Amino acid sequence: MSDRKCEAELNDATTAVCPDCTTNLKKCLIQQNYAVVICPNLDCGYPFNQTQAINNIVYVKEKEIIEVAKSRLADK
Ligand SMILES: [Zn+2]
């Protein structure tokens, strides 16, 4: 199984699981202050198989964005 890549993954998305395949969901930053909850399992289409994928877009607090930025800097 391969993982769906997320450029800016938030660390707090480990509690929710995918309703389709029960993989731990990831929160992926798509825009400043907005993240989408996605299933990292490439064999699973969640949430892109949902008619209401907009429900998976969540507001992200400044603090979380700073954490992501910090961890990205630390990787390089
Ligand atoms: Zn899934």
Instruction: Determine if the pTM surpasses 0.75.
Output: no
Domain-wise residue ranges, the chain: 9-75
Distance 22 CA to ligand 1 centre (A): 6
- Smallest CA-to-CA distance from 56 within 68, 69, 45, 67 is with 45
At residue 14, does pLDDT exceed 60?
A: no
Grade residue 6 by pLDDT with cuts at 50, 70 and 90: confident
- Condensed to tens digits (0 to 9), the pLDDT of residues 18-59 reads 999 999 888 888 888 888 888 999 999 888 887 766 677 788
Query: Hey, what are 52's tokens?
Result: 């209401």
Protein residues near ligand 1, an ion, with CB under 5 A? 18, 20-21, 23, 39, 41, 44, 46
> What's the CA angle centered on 39, arms 27 and 44, to 5 degrees?
165
